[in-house]
Amino acid sequence: MDFAGEITDPIHRYIRFSQAEKDIIDSAAFQRLRRIRQLAGAHLVYPSAQHSRFEHSLGAMHIAGLACESLLGKGYIDNAEVVEELRLAALLHDIGHGPFSHLFEEVLETRCRTSHEEMGRLIITKSEIADALGKNGYSADHISRLSFGQSNVHFLNEIISGGLSADIMDYLPRDSYFTGAEYGKIDYHRLISSYEVASGRLAINRSALNSLESMLISRYEMFKAVYFHKTVRSAEVMLLHSMINADDALALTDTSLENYLSITDEATLERLCALDNGMAARLARDYRDRRLLKCVYEKLLHKRDRHKRMDRKALSALEVEIAQAAGVDRSHVFADASRASSMPLTPSKREMFSVLVTDKKGVREVPVSEIPLVDSIAGFFDMLRIYTTAESRQKVERSVKKVLGDQETMEMGAGRLHGSVR
């Protein structure tokens, strides 16, 4: 592959790019990712977490290239063009994210039943991205299918997303570096060098099982320390409710390309803060000024099997009951249910329950239950939290004990969840 230049990166040192990749990177649709933070409101807890979807996408492209080169050298990929296609797919896998990253996806799901993947397909196939791909001889439809796990070649999908993917191998060390949390350091070079293909699926050599175990534990620890941190989620709850309440006024979930490509973190926050007085404006301004909601209750449920999640209707009823018991306005109480799987999701959005392992004896599908430390965290968990404003804290805390029972109240630590989480 001929490279047109390189970018200095704190995680991967140098990221080289081809002319086709340069044309994508230079497009306005891709440059927009500079203005969408990777971790939404986490910078209000970890001040250096200012990194964006832009650099994560570059990193994912770089690692996808390393993975493909490893498989090309072993004969599992017989065409160098596939390497470039996978790099482009990884580069574009997050192109559909809205403001505040995964947080906006909660708004999309609530308001219009769509996802960032669906928006990504639209951007890749209908915007200037499609023109840039076509100009360089690539099919936008084909790259879109690769980007979102729809290739007929299963192991190619697994390079983009899943437990052995370029996505996880970039976001863990990148998020760890920029938050200052030390949990996300992983040996992805060892994993990539061990890649094999068996039965059309991505596999690893048995000698790399320890590296896989370490990466999955690192992911678990990052969820405890960063992604599900109670104060990080406080900021996200504020933005979530602000955007949902303001959607009718601001048409945030207008999924036309012109509108969607215009909404970024700061642009959206500015529009929210500029609203006339109301719940959406109050929450947005408090978020901007870091006057965050206070967590007065949290309960962790960790189960081996998936179970029904509290829906928005149930959470809303709980908010009403707690507010009435506290004698405060309903708008001062926020019930939040966060769910995650201990294991990464496969390209088909199912939990990773096993990994294909090769050795001199052949190929075996190893359940995660046979990887001791990983088995100890396997399963699903739900975190129920109740947040309130600073002025209502004491009243709501007392009412929560009446409504939910003080035996369930867990000690508020220094931002760490207690028990097993994702």
Query: How far from 199 is each of 73, 182, 204, CA to CA, in Å?
Result: 19, 36, 13
CA distance 316 to 334: 8
Strands of the sheet containing 333-341, edge to edge, are: 294-303, 380-388, 333-341
User: DSSP string spanning 291-332?
Assistant: -PPEEEEEEEEEESS--PPP-HHHHHHHHHHHHHHHTS-GGG
Place of tokens 């309903």: 330
Task: List, for residues 16-42, the tens digit of each pLDDT value.
Answer: 999 999 999 999 999 999 999 999 999
5-230+343-375 and 293-342+379-422: identical CATH topology: no
In percent, how much of the chain has pLDDT > 70? 94
Cα–Cα distance, 292 to 237 (Å, whole number) = 10
In 149-229, which residue ranges form alpha helices assigned H by DSSP? 154-160, 166-179, 188-193, 209-222
Tell me the average pLDDT across 7-21. Answer: 97
Phi, psi for residue 161 in degrees, rounded to 5: -145, 150
Backbone angles phi, psi at 290, to 5 degrees: 55, 45
- Stretch 341-353: mean pLDDT, rounded? 85
Instruction: Give CA–CA dist 164/348, Å, rounded.
Output: 14
Residue pointed to by tokens 């149930």 = 314
133-160 tens-digit pLDDT:
999 999 999 999 999 999 999 999 999 9
pLDDT tens digits for 43-79? Answer: 999 999 999 999 999 999 999 999 999 999 999 999 9
Count how many residues are written for the chain: 422
Helical H segments across 180-273, by residue range = 188-193, 209-222, 230-250, 257-260, 265-273
In this prediction, residue 422 carries a pLDDT of 30
How far apart are alpha carbons 388 and 312 in whole angstroms? 17
Give, for 382, the enclosing helix (H) or strand (E).
strand 380-388
In percent, the amount of the chain with pLDDT more than 90 equals 77
Q: Average pLDDT for residues 8-23, to the nearest whole number? A: 97
362-367 and 294-303: which strand pairing? unpaired
pLDDT band at 418 (very low <50, low <70, confident <90, very high): very low
Report yes or no on whether pTM surpasses 0.85: yes
Confidence of residue 166 (pLDDT cuts 50, 70, 90): very high
Domain definitions of the chain by residue range = 5-230+343-375, 293-342+379-422
State which of 302-306, 386-390, 410-414 shows the largest mean pLDDT.
Answer: 386-390
Mean pLDDT within 203-230:
93
Question: How much is the mean pLDDT over the chain?
Answer: 91
Instruction: Decide which of 160 and 220 is more confident.
Output: 160
Q: How far apart are CA 388 and CA 184, in angstroms?
A: 31
Predicted pLDDT at 1: 77
Under 8 Å between Cβ of 44 and 232 = yes
Minimum mean pLDDT among 140-144, 248-252, 322-326, 404-408: which range? 404-408
Compute, in degrees rounded to 10, the torsion defined by CA atoms 363, 365, 370, 375: 140
- Using the predicted structure, report yes or no on whether residue 129 has a pLDDT greater than 70: yes
Architecture field, domain 5-230+343-375: Orthogonal Bundle (1.10)
pLDDT band of residue 165 (cuts 50, 70, 90) is: very high
pLDDT of 390 over the 60 cut: yes
DSSP string, 106-143: HHHHHHHS--HHHHHHHHHHHSHHHHHHHHTT--HHHH
Helices (H) and strands (E) in the chain — how many of each? 19, 9
Q: Is pLDDT above 50 for 412?
A: no
Please give the pLDDT value at position 356.
96
pLDDT digits (tens, 9 = 90+) for 187-201: 999 999 999 999 999
Angle at 102 between CA 101 and CA 106, to 5 degrees: 125
Q: 156 vs 302, which has greater pLDDT?
A: 156
Phi, psi (rounded to 5 degrees) for 16: -90, 155
| 402 token code pair | 């009446």
Say whether pLDDT at 301 is over 70: no
How far lies 285's CA from each of 40, 276, 277, 279, 288, in Å?
A: 16, 11, 10, 10, 5
Mean pLDDT along residues 228-245: 95
Contact 44, 235 (CB under 8 A): yes
- For residues 308 and 322, what is the distance between their CA atoms, to the nearest angstrom? 22
Per-residue confidence (pLDDT) for residue 302, from 0 to 100: 59
Q: Specify the pLDDT at position 246.
A: 97
Lowest mean per-residue pLDDT among 36-40, 123-127, 157-161, 340-344: 340-344
273 or 351, which is more confident: 273
CATH 3.30.70.2760 describes domain 293-342+379-422: yes
